[in-house]
Amino acid sequence: MGNKLRIAIVGGGIGGLTLALALRQRGFEPDVYEQASELAEIGAAVALSANSTRELRRLGVLDAVTAVSTEPGELIYRDWRSGRRIAAHPVHERLTYQRLYGAPYCGIHRADLQRVLSLALSGVGLNLDHKLTGVRDFGGATSLSFANGRTVEADLVVGADGVRSLVRRFITGSDDTVYSGTSAFRGIVPVAKLPMLPDPKAIQFWMGPDAHLLHYAIGGDGEYVNFFAVVEYPKVWPHGDKWLDPVGPGEAVAAFKGWHPAVLEMVAQHLPVRWGLFATRPVLHWYRGGVVILGDAAHAMLPHHGQGANTTIEDAITLAELLAGVAPTELPDILARYQALRRARTRKIQRSSWVTNALLHLPDGPDLSDRNQRVARFPQDFGWIHRFDALQAAQNAKHSIQAVAAHA
């Protein structure tokens, strides 16, 4: 009966597509509305950790994901200038990560992940060229209007529409986006063009004063390196709603002056844009009536734990599992339960990513020995992020609702 629920998903990114897949697996027929005319994420990769790859396995797409991704050999922290290994933790080596957390760690191009997910959906229910312009609640149902003139009605609208979410604006009535005071250069470079790089298949953080460089390999054979170089400026983002700012080719090299040659060699090959790094301030309400948000729309975070996409996938699985087999009348309870399950966890990771930014950007000096001890402990300290089982958590919550209902 729950399958009759009309579900509209706004946004065909990782969150929207994962949700659509998880809902289809549970017998729903959701529609996805994506503003772009094709599914093509540009110029960026994503690191998938066990908390999301265990869900991709349950969705039947993990093999397709691992075929086009790389599991890093080690997680290595290095000094910005000397390149000294400050701490190193095995990941693929001796299959340490998978043994610890029950699923692999995958460096993958976003476009590849999007392709795997949309192939699994066979394009069913995918509506491109649908840019959302309005959300209207008229008691019991919600209507969505799009720039192409179309209007659709749904019992449940899920905003998977990113950090600048229009759906979130409908829920909270405000713009909850905050600029972090940090920005990034990115690029994807063939390993062959990085002759100075030690350990090209590792995921590595190069940490220095007011900046860091993160990189990891992607592709089926680790043939490319995806990098992300963060600097502590501009303090105020002067480009309004645009989070990409065109920059000249020498910009990143100037920003990393004095860093290790391997760093300079890599950042020199950045895309000609600077990314402003934005987050969502913790919002009290993730839903209003039959309208709910997930992923960056609900909790955009700084990328320093590499958890934006992973927590988005967790959100999608949680929501789909809570909705399975539920009557439309139970929707308010389900959405409340979803918010309760997701808000604390994502806020902790959001907060922790924020704090980690400062740790990665310490100047040379006495604080470094404390930092070095902390990065040596990272796997133990952040195991809670990777160990999490979203499906299990949703099922436990569901059983507790049913148990209460049975006693009522």
Partner 1 sequence: MQREKIEAALATIFETAVGKRELAPTMRLQEDLDLDSLTRIDLAITAEDTFGASIPDEMLERFVTVGDVLRFFDQAAQQQPVEFVGTRR
List, by residue number, the catalytic residues.
216
Binding segment (CB under 8 A) for partner 1, from list 77-85, 256-264, 308-316, 344-352? 344-352
Q: Closest CB to partner 1 among 83 and 181?
A: 181
Binding segment (CB under 8 A) for partner 1, from list 62-70, 71-79, 342-350, 392-400? 342-350
- The residue behind tokens 């955009």 is 300
* From candidates 347, 374, 376, 401, binder to partner 1 by CB under 8 A: 347
Contacts of partner 1 in 71-110 (CB under 8 A): none
Strand ranges of the sheet holding 291-293, from the earlier edge strand across to the other edge: 126-127, 31-33, 7-10, 156-159, 291-293, 287-288
Q: What x/- string results for residues 253 through 282 when contact with partner 1 is judged by CB under 8 A?
A: ----------------------------xx
Task: Tell me how far apart the alpha carbons of residues 206 and 367 are, in angstroms, rounded to a whole number.
Answer: 16
Residue 295's closest CA among 389, 179, 162? 162
Binding segment (CB under 8 A) for partner 1, from list 111-119, 180-188, 340-348, 359-367? 340-348
Residues in contact with partner 1, counted by CB under 8 A, come to a total of 15
- The residue behind tokens 């909270």 is 172
Task: Tell me how far apart the alpha carbons of residues 282 and 291 are, in angstroms, rounded to a whole number.
Answer: 18
Under the binding rule (CB under 8 A), the answer on residue 358 touching partner 1 is no
Q: Which residues pair with 47 in a beta bridge?
A: 107
Under the binding rule (CB under 8 A), the answer on residue 344 touching partner 1 is yes
Under the binding rule (CB under 8 A), the answer on residue 285 touching partner 1 is yes
Task: Tell me how far apart the alpha carbons of residues 130 and 312 are, in angstroms, rounded to a whole number.
Answer: 21
Under the binding rule (CB under 8 A), the answer on residue 340 touching partner 1 is yes
Beta pairing, strands 151-154 & 142-146 = antiparallel
Binding segment (CB under 8 A) for partner 1, from list 139-147, 233-241, 351-359, 365-373? 351-359
CB burial string 265-300: b at 16+ within 10 A, e below: bbbbbbbebbbbbbbbeebeebbbbbbbbbbbbbbb
* From candidates 343, 372, 378, 391, binder to partner 1 by CB under 8 A: 343
Q: Which residues pair with 188 in a beta bridge?
A: 226
Q: Closest CB to partner 1 among 4 and 281?
A: 281
The pairs formed by 120-124 with CB atoms below 8 angstroms and a separation of 24 or more are 120/21, 120/59, 120/60, 120/61, 120/64, 121/17, 121/20, 121/21, 121/24, 121/32, 124/24
Q: Closest CB to partner 1 among 46 and 349?
A: 349
Under the binding rule (CB under 8 A), the answer on residue 355 touching partner 1 is yes
Under the binding rule (CB under 8 A), the answer on residue 287 touching partner 1 is yes
* From candidates 274, 288, 361, 371, binder to partner 1 by CB under 8 A: 288
Under the binding rule (CB under 8 A), the answer on residue 136 touching partner 1 is no
Under the binding rule (CB under 8 A), the answer on residue 354 touching partner 1 is yes
Work out the burial of residue 77: count CB atoms within 10 Å of its CB; fewer than 13 is exposed, 13-18 middle, 19 or more buried. buried
Using DSSP, state whether 236 is helix, strand or coil: coil
Which positions lie near partner 1, rule CB under 8 A? 281-282, 284-285, 287-288, 340, 343-344, 347-348, 351-352, 354-355
